[in-house]
Amino acid sequence: MSLEQLKSDVAELAAFLQQAKGARVKDVLTTAKAAAEREIVNLEMKAKIAAERQANGATDAKRYLHELTDYGWDQSAKFVKLFITLNGVQGCTEENVTVTYTPSSLQLHVRDLQGKDFGLTVNNLLHSIDVEKSYRKIKTDMVAIYLKKVKEDEHWDVLTAIQKRLKQKKDSEMSKDGDNPESALVNIMKKMYNDGDSKTKQMIAKAWTESQDKVKLGKETGGDLDSFGDL
């Protein structure tokens, strides 16, 4: 899927979110929007790293880029700390393990680790960070990234603003809603499913499945993606 199509999908999902009333409808749309935003981040990261690798010469351009998605995180009064496991990373030179910071994001790039490149991007951090005072350490089989909090002692209950919105939507399911969200959800998602390409269909199917897993069997209305067509 192209970057332009993903941005169009995000805009359409945002428009649906403004119209949605049911808590579960909002939850599924928010999840789908977050998935599309992650795809945008990944494509932008690939483009940036590809440009860097091309600038560094043919050797970099031939190595395969592995996108990292798993990491742990913790915090202290002054720092938010990310821990990314990478076997053998301690063998990399300092210049081959770089982190680019902005007040609301970070991008890790590990070059030529056992003949491969690795990248991790985290956008929309929950709160602002101090770029100048943030840093990283190379440890045994791990890269540790220390994000300096602008406001010390400020607690981060999640890492990103997107995760915060998803948590709020999930919490809202606890309140009662008089709407019938399943009917509205099926209609909205069917339209997007029918109009989307294969990547969009996979994204919607995943969001739908995750939502349906939360519903008790006795409350299901029978709507499913089988009526949308084959993946």
Mean pLDDT of the chain: 79
Phi, psi of 25 (to 5 degrees): -60, -45
Cα separation, 17 vs 1, in Å, equals 22
pLDDT tens track for 217-228: 555 545 554 444
Tell me, what's the pLDDT at 153?
94
Type of residue at 228: F
Least confident span in 56-60, 107-111, 198-202 = 56-60
- Residues of the chain with pLDDT > 90: what percent? 35
Find which of 8-12, 191-195, 200-204, 218-222 is predicted with most confidence, using mean pLDDT.
8-12
Assign residue 107 a region (left: φ > 0; alpha: ψ between -120 and 50; beta: otherwise). Answer: beta
Return the pLDDT at 197: 60
- Strand ordering across the sheet containing 142-149: 72-75, 79-85, 142-149, 129-139
Residue 186 neighbours by CB under 8 Å, 6+ apart: 221, 223
Higher-confidence residue of 200 and 164: namely 164
pLDDT at 164 over 80: yes
- Using pLDDT thresholds of 50, 70 and 90, give the confidence band for residue 21: confident
Per-residue pLDDT tens over the stretch 39-86:
777 777 667 766 666 666 555 556 778 889 889 999 999 999 999 999
Most confident of 68-72, 77-81, 110-114, 180-184: 77-81
pLDDT the model gives residue 6? 80
Partners of residue 119 on adjacent β-strands: 67, 109
DSSP structural state of residue 2? -
Q: How far apart are the first and last CA of the chain?
A: 15
Question: Cβ(7)–Cβ(19) under 8 Å?
Answer: no
Identify the top-confidence range among 34-38, 109-113, 141-145, 222-226.
141-145
Tokens describing residue 179: 């709407």
Q: What percent of the chain has pLDDT over 70?
A: 68
List, for residues 146-163, the tens digit of each pLDDT value: 999 999 999 999 999 888
